[in-house]
Amino acid sequence: MKLKKASKYLVLALTLGSTVFTSCKSEKAEVEPKKPNVLFVLVDDLGYQDLSVMGSDYYETPNIDKIAKSGTIFTNGYATCTVCSPSRASLLTGQFTARHGITQYEGAQTGQGWKAKNRYTKLLPPDFKQHLDLDALTLPEVFKAGGYSTFFAGKWHLGSKEQHSLPTDHGFDVNQGGNKSGGPNGGYFSPFKNPNLTNLPEEKGMTLSMKLAKETSKFIEKNKDTTFLAYLSFYAVHAPIQTSEEKWKKYRDKAEKMGIDENGFKMERVLPARKHQDNPVYAGLIEQVDEALGTVMQTLRDLDLDKNTIIVFTSDNGGVTSGDNFSTAQLDIRGGKGYQWEGGVRIPYFVYVPWMDQKGSNIDVPVSGTDLFPTLLDLAGLPLEPQAHMDGVSLKPLLEGKTIDERPLFWHYPHYGNQGGEPSSIIRKGNWKLIYYWEDLHSELYNLDSDLMERDDVADSNKELTASLKTELLEWLESMNTQYAEEDPLWDEAARKKRLENHRKQLLPRLEKQRKKMLSPDYKPNKDWWGSQVEK
């Protein structure tokens, strides 16, 4: 493994070295401008419409909005999976999940172990890679070989120290807070229970988002005279959601002013789903992310780096409408994190390039998290690595007002989502989206141009198109040599139906009660608001 890794770096160094040598050799070559810096911002579980710039009247995100309004909004931007670890691996490798092999979040149970928490499902989820392959060529490795200082802060969830798969094993020079955990151990306020974050006495009560932003700003200031890739991967807005009393009150009062519906949830196919954006704790958590990111953007301005720093802003999957903390609602699309519908994979996707005249332009071409790897290489003037980012294409032509070839996008999730999603594989081609379900091998077909909510399944009335897309999808999966779910020989359909009925009769009323409690004027989660209130 180590030899292969060394060989990978040698080939990469020779490729980049050859490019630099050729450039220096040319007598007519003009002095090139300094290579751009890159700030890559990833928010965990942030939904497509969880930002004011994306249509929310409830959440307030002025700093994030500035990035979108100064850059380009990809309105059909997608994560490669409905849950975190797979799509995070795709961002770093430029590969779809079926290719890199991480098809479920790290630590998830498979086989009969999946049933440990009273899960009654027809299929048993297959095994999958539990960490990022050391032999995979990653975005930070290519930037590092190109002379960049590289930095990671926040959620990693792609391996552990024991697996030799932390950020520093995959091309990042510095790691602040990245480990195998998928959530904010110890909560969102200092002191943090994170082995890769230092707790300082003066930071007690500081939000985790601000701590990560602070460390990012320190790195940027230290490397202001070099060229850097800073990857800021917030743990927020992942459950358990927490905020301060001040933020909660602001958004509780706002929800009341907007009008609080008597019923806040409705049943989706498996679990209840939140109907409205009216969660004041979640809204406060989002605003704290926005404030933290604002300090990093201010650092760039203070150091006069904003004119030479590309900013990418995105999420790893859809917002949590079901499961976890049932935090949010996706207003114009169906489902959320874990679901096979648009709410599970369609995400905020912004690219700001300071020397381009973008001004918040919208691009409707479907794009994927796999595309950011080659796009950033292209924008930075580094050679593309098509043997690595095999499923991604550079979006630079689109940013320049040109076109790219139409291509299908693929998803493969042979697992059950904790949020209600079902084992399925998906192809999107043009405006058409086909979902193939592994429980009973049926297909759903939607025209996203006319049915963004995916309520009108037109598979039966478009049999030829359905068959064609299904064949293309299955042939692609076969070429990936991927894993599939298998039927459970001990499957108990009666037990499954009983569990689903419990979701309707017991879980739904309980969620309604919790929602009303959180929106009541005297709500108090605990004595010190999760550690945000500190005695002075």
pLDDT for 25 equals 34
pLDDT for 119 equals 87
In terms of phi and psi (left: phi > 0; alpha: psi -120 to 50; beta: otherwise), the region of 313 is beta
Using the structure block, give the residue that is written with the tokens 């490795």: 141
pTM (2 decimals)? 0.94
Summarised one tens digit per residue, pLDDT across range 143-168 is: 999 999 999 999 999 999 999 999 99
Percent of the chain having pLDDT more than 90? Answer: 92
| Cα–Cα dist 434/476, whole Å | 14
Using the structure block, give the residue that is written with the tokens 């990469």: 12
Q: Which amino acid is at 14?
A: L
User: CA distances (Å), 130 to each of 18, 318, 460, 482, 486, in order?
Assistant: 36, 21, 38, 14, 19
pLDDT for 117 equals 82
* DSSP string of 316-338, one letter each residue: SS---SSSTT-----SSSS--TT
Q: Which amino acid is at 471?
A: T
Burial class (CB in 10 A: 0-12, 13-18, 19+), 527: exposed
Do 421 and 338 form a contact (C-beta atoms < 8 A)?
yes
Q: Which of these, 462, 467, 429, 433, lies nearest to 447 by C-alpha position?
A: 433
Summarised one tens digit per residue, pLDDT across range 335-371 is: 999 999 999 999 999 999 999 999 999 999 999 999 9
pLDDT for 12 equals 61
Q: Is 433 helix (H, G, I), strand (E, B) or coil?
A: strand
Bridge partners of 368, per DSSP, are 78
Residue 418 has φ and ψ, to the nearest 5°, of -60, -15
SS (H, E, C) 243-297: CCHHHHHHHHHHHHHHCCCCCCEEECCCCEEECCCCCHHHHHHHHHHHHHHHHHH
pLDDT for 31 equals 38
SS (H, E, C) 195-245: CCCCCCHHHCCCEHHHHHHHHHHHHHHHCCCCCEEEEEEECCCCCCCCCCH
pLDDT for 34 equals 79
**Residue segments in the chain with a per-residue pLDDT below the cut of 50:** 1-4, 6-7, 10-11, 14, 17-32
